[in-house]
Structure 1
Amino acid sequence: MSKQANPAVIGGFVLGALVIFVGALIVFGSGALLRERIALVTFFPGSVQGLNIGAQVQFQGVPIGQITGIGLNYLPDTNNFRVPVRYDIWPKNIAVLGGVGQTNPRAVIRQLVKQEGLRARLQSISVVTGQYVVSLNLNPQLPAQPEEQDYQDAIQVPAIEATRDRMEDLLATLPLNDLVEKTTGTLDAIYDLFSSGKIDRSVESLDATLTQAHLALQTLNHDLKPLLDSLQQVLTNTNELSVTARENIEQIAPALTSAAENTATLTANLQRDWAPLKASAQAALTQGTKTLAALDSLVASDSPTRYQLDQLLRETTEAARSIRTLADYLERHPEALLSGKSGARAR
């Protein structure tokens, strides 16, 4: 007959297993079952592929929670679907610094959503696996948004379009067919170019050009040395000329200084003697002006002196004419000097 099991022993084993299980949950779950949490929800506009339950929720790259549920809602009024993503954040992971008193974490989150632009976005953590997390960030540049009603006791956090969604929208607007055709045409043109042998001929021409350039550089290097030597000699001569000119300037500098001093003295003397000389010249000029005025009055057409001079000139002219007539007569009748004019006529 088999021995009956002791219920106390069985109960002890069961109780021990429960204690071990709870301890394992506390140790390996980092106290997730016992920690304080705040339920949030975000309705993402695009696909949430790559986001799994248990994925992290990060704030500026710091883990502060995890995804707890991903659902799908149908809206008959608009005939659309929406994807609610539920996640919890752990207030104990956020240290409050400063002299802030006791605050309600839920009220703080509502204020951040309404006034500071708290938004949720899907962010890739691995391009290889395609996994995503929910990233929370503040966007104070966004306009204030009215507070949304809670969704099943979860605070609504508005979503920002993910980079993946923007890329998909961009790709949807790109004319991919045209791009493929143009790319194919470009590749065909490149293939034809290489097949035609033009590239080989261009490479050969370039090689010949480089060879000629190398020869030209060698020739230039050969001819450049004498030119540099000549230039060096010119610079040396110029330096010697500068030294000689400096020495000559130093020698004639005293003479130039003396000449400048003499010029200054002469200028001072001229300035000193200029005043009396100017007065004498002014007096002479005044006297000359008066003399010219007197002469002008003498030779004026209506002056007595001018009349007398004219009369004298007429009388002198008549006397000269009479003398000339007498001279002509005596030349014809020289005997008139002895017998007179009447005797000359009797003959």
Structure 2
Amino acid sequence: MTRRRANPFAIGAFVVAGLAVLAVALIALPGQHWFKQPERVVMFFSGSVFGLQKGAPVVFRGVRIGDVTDISVHYDSKSDTFAIPVLAQLDAEAVRGLDGRRGNGDIGHALPQLIQRGLTAQLGTQSLLTGQLYVDLDFRTKPPGRTHGGYTGDATEIPTSATAFQALKDQLESVDLKKIVDDLSGIANAARTLITAPELKQGMKDFAATATHARSLAAQLDRRAGPLTRGAESALASVDRAGDKVSGAADKLDQGADRASALLDPQGPAVRDLQRSLNELAQASASLREAADGDGPLLQQTERTMQELSQAARALRGLARSLDAQPQQLLLGRQPDVAAPAPVSPPVAEPAR
């Protein structure tokens, strides 16, 4: 029995085909991390996730950093609500890049720190035609992210926030359209009742009468506007003339003020003459005060003069008495004074016994 030798070409072709199949698998399944250990995360969305499929990208500002691995529905019996937990796997190197670390250390603390900085997840639209969604991660503070809690797996929960369109949709869904329609119907009925009310008709008639009266009054004002305008122009002319007079008086007052300022100028001649007169008056007052002083020479001289005048007066009185007693002494000279006789006292009567 002869053995057939293996065909080297067939073996090479088989190996090449296997490598090609492996390369196609790696290219066709980009969401599978074959050589890296991924980071598992979970995100709870409260609204519809229609269009989000397994394998959908998880991006950070347009850069793909992971893939969606599972989508399910979670019922909360306490609040009687439903939530959609979305599981995803993130590239460990990408997480280290977001945290600013490029080493091979533990990344277990990277996501919590990013979440504290405001990392949240939102649903984005990949294509408006297909309606496919993706998970968008970014640092957001408005609106703030919300966490659901209660997940028992080994995944880190990332807070989620609604997009502006989703928030608007939630607000529209919360609007009670039936109540709005009922309110509009009530307003329309009230407006119809008001329009058909007799009071409104009477009010319109009164308004028409008022408008007619206003037109008549306007016509009268137009007829009287001419004389009033002429009177106003005359009054304005009078005011202008009065203003001119006031302006002239103000100019004269300014001139008088300038003259008064010139007269009251400390360096002017009038002020200097007045100051010189005041100084001379002060000197004269000081001289009078010095002369009126009790120890002054003028008062002493006046006192001696008065004493001499008193002595002269006494001498004149003595001369007058002497001439009165002896008038002839002007011719014969003065005679010696004759002693005057002693006065005789009257007899004293004796008392009767």
Which TM bucket (shorter chain)?
0.3 to 0.5
TM-score, with structure 1 as normaliser: 0.44
Max radius of gyration: which structure? 2
Higher helix share: 1
**Higher RCO, Cα 8 Å, sep 6+:** 1
